[in-house]
Chain A
Amino acid sequence: MLELKNVSYRVSDENQEKEILKDISLKIDERFVAITGPNGGGKSTLAKVIAGIIQPTQGEIFLDGIDITNKSITERANLGISFAFQQPVRFKGLTVRDLISLSAGTKLSVDGACQYLSEVGLCARDYVDREINASLSGGELKRIEIAMILARGTKLSVFDEPEAGIDLWSFNNLIRVFEDMHRKVQGSIVIISHQERILNIADKIVVISDGKITKIGTKEEILPEIMDASTECKFYKGGC
């Protein structure tokens, strides 16, 4: 279980201070937890705080009762946290197989890497030895990013907008991947998303706006409320 206690994140630039996260307290031990809310509300910052990329200015974070607040990205990764970037990183020279192998923690054969890549609909043999460079499309990179999380198989996986750019492959497959993942690892999957179809599989939905948790509850409680808010409708219907 992941627990955030009174987590805040403040940045100061020149003469003004801005609070990106304001006193967030949250427990995550459900199968699927979706974090949603308007752009700029602090969702991605929260994901980075969980992964250790951003150090909160206040508050504590616990993973299965262990205080990880001051643990590095590497230590958190080794304790069982995975993080799929919203914008996957390109690496000149490193191949798909290299990254999947690093994720799995062991040097993988073509077949070994194929196992994860075929899960995300990439015809693996064509991909394993390709470089993670500009020759791959944004959608391909997103799927490789997801395959890396599959290869890690940790107890907590955080996905920052996994649906962006994968339209060619389809949401149904993405949701199936999440369900398979849960079945295999029995861990928690946190997904930052605007998409109704992803929110629909969540056991818990957390709405973050202006750095605060404004709503939290089951999808039955939360979905009707946010779908009715006409100004936000375009997000959830797949408009962005």
Chain B
Amino acid sequence: MDGIQMDLLEKVAGLHEIPTGAYNIRANGKSAARNTTENIDIISKTDKQGIDIIIKAGTKNETIHIPVLLSESGLQEMVYNDFYIGEDADITIIAGCGIHNEGADSSRHDGIHSFFVGKNAKIRYVEKHYGEGDGNGERIMNPTTIVKIEDGGYMEMDTVQIKGIDSTKRVTKAVLKDNATLVIKEKIMTHGHQTAETDFEVNLDGENSSTNVISRSVAKDNSRQLFLSKINGNNKCAGHTECDAIIMDHASVSAIPEITANNIDASLIHEAAIGKIAGDQIIKLMTLGLTEEEAETQIVNGFLK
């Protein structure tokens, strides 16, 4: 890996060097480095781009890194990653995609990640998107996430896209069985002429299944955001979706929550709020000695923290 790629690796995965434990680093369309452990196997797909990540039942406290780095302008790829998480496992997966585009052509990474979360397994999935480079070429990412959680399974998905991605369309679809839980926390900041669309659909099929879909976003300049969140309560279940957005400059934000109860014992809530930074908040921080710009930065950083 070269310097640009190492820098992207630090931005998307917080890694300063090759990690320990299981990992697969994909750089410019090829596997750049891989390591497996006794409990975690990573196998390249033979029919298409991508990998299968197989986590043995009962694996505890292991972390898997699967960063994707694109530093070649104009590179476009579609990758399929399937995660099989064995029963009773308790693991963290750190994904992330960094694009460095100095050229005039669009760089694009589309990924379809499928998670099969076994009975009583617990997984935390962290995904960070980051783009940089001075070229005119667009930096595009379209992640699709398919989640199936078996009885008693738990998945937490933290996604962050703070800077540099010109266009993104995120689709997440989940099906939960009995006593399964899915928590999604999304953070997005767009600026310039960027667009970001997120589309969540959670099917609460199992008894006592639950989900919490939380999005916090900041839209600056002329950027546009669309947040769609759909929860279907098909059994005795609990669902909550919340979109909280700060709008600045000439940006535009749409939040469209949709909750459907198909069972008398389904309990579903949606909340959505969009607004500019409250004048009082800026004034308060100015009375502490911050300038208006510093106050705004503090408020935005705190909101997305």
Contact = CB atoms under 8 A, between A and B. Distances in A.
B228 interface: no
Interface in B281-299: 281, 283-292, 298-299
Nearest to A145: B284
Contact of B287 (A77, A92, A94, A95): A77
A82 interface: yes
B244 interface: yes
Contacts of B75: none
B283 A148 contact: no
Interface string A99-133: 10011010000000000000000000000000000
B286 A93 contact: no
Nearest to A100: B288
Given A92-B302, A93-B305, A94-B299, A72 B284 contact: no
B290 A74 contact: yes
Interface residues of A, number: 25
A74 B292 contact: yes
Interface string A72-99: 1110011001110100110111110011
Q: Is the interface of B mostly helix, strand, loop or mixed?
A: helix
A152 interface: yes
Contacts of B289: 74, 77-78, 102, 105
A165 to B, nearest CB: 17
B264 interface: no
Among B216, B283, B301, B304, residue most surrounded by chain A Cβ atoms (within 10 Å): B283
A53 interface: yes
A199 interface: no
B287 A93 contact: no
Contact of A102 (B281, B285, B305): B285
A198 to B, nearest CB: 21
A89 B278 contact: yes
Interface residues of B, number: 22
A213 interface: no
A79 B77 CA distance: 57
Contacts of B38: none
Contacts of B290: 74, 102
Nearest to A131: B302
Contacts of B291: 74
Contacts of B304: 93
A95 B302 CA distance: 8
A33 interface: no
Contact of A82 (B280, B287, B301, B303): B287
A81, A83, A94, A105 interface centre (most CB from chain B within 10 Å):
A94
Q: For B244, B286, B298, which residue has the most chain A Cβ atoms within 10 angstroms?
A: B286
A21 interface: no
B298 A102 contact: yes
A88 B304 CA distance: 21
A74 B287 CA distance: 6
A103 B288 contact: yes
A51 B287 contact: yes
Contacts of A105: 289
Interface in B128-172: none
Residue among A53, A82, A105, A152 having the largest count of chain B Cβ atoms under 10 Å: A53
A91 B246 CA distance: 12
A98 B302 contact: yes
Contact of A72 (B244, B281, B285, B286): B286
Contact of A91 (B286, B292, B299): B299
B271 to A, nearest CB: 12
Interface of B: 216, 244, 278, 280-281, 283-292, 298-299, 301-305
Interface of A: 51, 53, 72-74, 77-78, 81-83, 85, 88-89, 91-95, 98-99, 102-103, 105, 148, 152
Q: Which 5 A-B pairs have the closest CB atoms?
A: A93-B302, A94-B302, A73-B286, A77-B289, A93-B303
24 contacts: A53-B287, A72-B286, A73-B283, A74-B290, A77-B289, A78-B289, A83-B287, A85-B280, A85-B284, A88-B284, A89-B281, A89-B284, A91-B281, A92-B216, A92-B244, A93-B299, A93-B302, A93-B304, A93-B305, A94-B298, A94-B302, A98-B302, A102-B285, A103-B288
